[in-house]
Structure 1
Amino acid sequence: MPRSALALAALATAAVPGLDARAVRQEDAPGEYDVAVVTASDGTLWEVRAPQSAVAGAALEAEMGLLDALHRYHEAGVLPFAVPRIAGSALLPEGGHAVVHKHIAGAPLDIESLTPGPGLAADLGRTLAAVHELPASVVETCGLPSYTAETYRERRLVELDEAATTGRVPTALLRRWEAALEDVALWRFRPVVVHGDLAADQVLVAGGRVIAVTGWSDARVADPADDLAWLLVAAPPESVDSIMEAYQLRRTELQDPRLVDRALLVGELALARWLLHGVRQGLPEVVADAEAMLADLDEATREDAV
């Protein structure tokens, strides 16, 4: 059962000595977490996050160590954006911890408003490049997953096979995806640190630049295309060149000529993953939404092929 805002406020006061909570508001958050923003008596805003499951709790424990390391890279000037800095944690009755950090001000990214040029689109490219330039040990020492290019391709194949067994993916899409996943040349990449679950509400902006990135529980060493996919699919087409140019200039020794092709494929495969989520969790509305988007993609790709 989700925790109430008052219960989350109580956890925040237990986690941070001297925190005198005066107001609290519940927040929507991705993943299996209960989140609230607590206003202290001195006006400081604190964010408290508590896992809803043992799996989410384990991910949060690993993320705590990662955030500490990322904060040090931010202070050293390596990362041009802030990350949440854990101020305290409180033990939960069922095990695991709720964590608390100062609430980071900033507006969620409005991806549809991106324009070409040296502004926010370019800053997004530099932001992702800075993450992908981090040493793999940052993630690996926190116990988060690390994959080779081949094992990651195999994971994608397993997901596609599972999606195919649902009978809900158009046949033409399956054939095209299978051919791409069997194209070994497409999957020759150097695994890097990736955020793993980027979305507009986890990229906070102010003054025309990225000021913070949140939600690091799915970080791993994997395919850089994972972080680029959502931008290349959702951003206005005229802004994509600015994103990629800034990204490539910021990367060192980037030898991945099929990166954009793979990112676009990963964006398409996200629909299969959304379908699987609905099937696994028994969510008919999610399944219907995924089927509709798959049908639209199937129609669009058929038209492109003509």
Structure 2
Amino acid sequence: MGARSLTADGDGRFDSAVATLADGRELAIRVGDDDETSRELAAEALALRAMTAGARAMLPFRVPEYVGETRIADGRALVAELLPGFQIEAGDVPQGRGAATSMGATIAAVHSLPASVVRSAGLTARSAEEVRSEIRQLVDRAASTGRVPARLTVRWREAVEDDDLWRFESAVTLGGVKSTSFLFDDDPERGPFVTGLLDWHGLSLGDPAVDLAWLSSAPDAAADVHAAYAEASDRSPDSALAVRARMVAELEFARWLVHGDLLRRSDIVDDAATLLESLAQGLRENDLSVIAARGEGVDSALDALDSVPATTAAGTAISMETDAFNPADLMPEEVEDAYVGEPTQDLSDVTGAWDDGAHDATHSGERAASAHATPTAERPDRPAYDDSSDEGDPADEAQRAARAALQRWTNSSSE
């Protein structure tokens, strides 16, 4: 038996360590020492317990096993199985078969879980209209600060009022997957593929678009992830899925603004306002509408982030800072009572996480846990990868890029 710290480049929101048992199993121990992190660990524990053996058997990848909870000093501690594998930032996910297609199929598998997984555990379940209502409240709350550019307010309100955008079937979601939620192994023939999935604290029933919002920061892989998701999904086609996903990603900055305003943190408010202004400046006149060219695709306002000054966005852990949100924070008092009694949840199940670089130390540490993960499920639908064939094929070039990235992750991993 033994223990070691988790070395990672995360934001340090949790005190984390790895315990090695006598039988060789490794457990991740995370301690939250404030209300926000303790709520997240409590939600994670509830979600992992909701993933019964039957639910896990439906998934072609591993979910961390819940081991137990305890108190350490004044903090809540969660103990769960440590899964091996590699992670990759959104902007580094290459196009083509392999990583991108496996990620799309993985998200589809989660969304195909029966709603009873969520309902039986008493987790949050929202209809399309409830999701729409919460987003409407978020837009109004952000606009009330006076710090949202008018063109963004118009863009979002028009989208909220478009009925066609909200005709979707609620699905089991993780409430905002990040690129670093996926753990990969590399198959010599098939290329990188997902072996495990992290970040279950937002498990709920709601808009499937929230788990695809991160693709706004993965321009190379977005089309292939969406295509693989559509191919693997057993749900009714949702023509507005990609549009809602882009809107969800944009609204993460509105959430950041509201978060700062609620805390009366002028530094957060100013930072969010700068980001929102950059989004607005990047919009072309014909992009003011989220839905104007749904059939042809609409550029995301997030494309403008290249113009954000480095000093503004540097170090901003947006997705983690906004995890403190509760939907009730955005609601009038007369409707707040409708949510009393639900498990403490954040708005990540409505608006998704934008900052894929903001991940906690435990999840980052899992990247270093093993350079040789063992696949837990065969994926017969994945095209074979042959490094020697079709040398000029863009898909093969993408696979070589993915393999090179995996090699870099292996070399940079440390205990």
> Which TM bucket (shorter chain)?
0.7 to 0.9
Partner of 2:63: 83
| 1:234 and 2:214 matched | no
Partner of 1:24: 5
Instruction: Output the amino acid matched with 2:47.
Output: L
Give the match's secondary structure for 2:140.
Answer: helix
Query: Closer, same or farther in 2 for the Cα pair 1:162/1:30, shift >3 Å?
Result: farther
Residues 223-275 of structure 1, C-alpha deviation per residue, up to 9 Å, x if partnerless? 001111112x01124x2221111101111132311111111111111110121
CA–CA distance in structure 1, aligned partners of residues 56 and 90 of structure 2: 27
Identity, % of aligned pairs? 34
The answer as to whether partners of 1:195 and 1:227 remain within 8 angstroms in 2 is: yes
The answer as to whether partners of 2:256 and 2:268 remain within 8 angstroms in 1 is: yes
TM-superposed CA distance for 1:53, in Å, is: 4.3
Instruction: Output the amino acid matched with 1:87.
Output: V
Residues 126-151 of structure 1, C-alpha deviation per residue, up to 9 Å, x if partnerless? 01100100111111222211011111
Partner of 2:150: 171
| 1:273 and 2:255 matched | yes
Query: 1:63-74 counterparts in 2 under 5 A?
Result: 63-70=44-51, 72-73=53-54
Residues 64-111 of structure 1, C-alpha deviation per residue, up to 9 Å, x if partnerless? 2431343625652x21221111223224565x8522123222222232
Q: What value does the CA root-mean-square deviation take over the aligned residues?
A: 2.6
| 1:141 and 2:120 matched | yes
1:101 corresponds to which of 35, 59, 80: 80
Pick the structure with more strand per residue: 1
Query: Closer, same or farther in 2 for the Cα pair 1:35/1:205, shift >3 Å?
Result: farther
Normalising to structure 2: TM-score of the pair?
0.62
Query: 1:187-198 counterparts in 2 under 5 A?
Result: 187-198=166-177
Partner of 1:15: none
The answer as to whether partners of 1:27 and 1:37 remain within 8 angstroms in 2 is: no
The answer as to whether partners of 2:26 and 2:81 remain within 8 angstroms in 1 is: yes
CA–CA distance in structure 2, aligned partners of residues 38 and 297 of structure 1: 40
| 1:202 and 2:181 matched | yes
CA–CA distance in structure 2, aligned partners of residues 44 and 253 of structure 1: 37
Higher deviation after alignment, 210-219 or 46-55:
46-55
Give the match's secondary structure for 1:279.
Answer: helix
Query: Closer, same or farther in 2 for the Cα pair 1:288/1:248, shift >3 Å?
Result: same
RCO comparison, higher one (Cα < 8 Å, 6+)? 2
Instruction: Output the amino acid matched with 1:24.
Output: S
Q: Which runs of 5+ in 1 are unaligned?
A: 1-19
Residues 35-64 of structure 1, C-alpha deviation per residue, up to 9 Å, x if partnerless? 412243756542112333456545544532
2:131 corresponds to which of 133, 149, 152: 152
CA–CA distance in structure 2, aligned partners of residues 27 and 246 of structure 1: 30
1:36 corresponds to which of 4, 8, 16: 16
| 1:46 and 2:27 matched | yes
Query: Closer, same or farther in 2 for the Cα pair 1:44/1:282, shift >3 Å?
Result: farther
Normalising to structure 1: TM-score of the pair?
0.82
Q: Which runs of 5+ in 2 are unaligned?
A: 187-191, 289-415
CA–CA distance in structure 2, aligned partners of residues 61 and 36 of structure 1: 16
1:286 corresponds to which of 268, 285, 288: 268
Query: Closer, same or farther in 2 for the Cα pair 1:56/1:176, shift >3 Å?
Result: same
May I ask how many residue pairs the two structures share in their alignment? 282
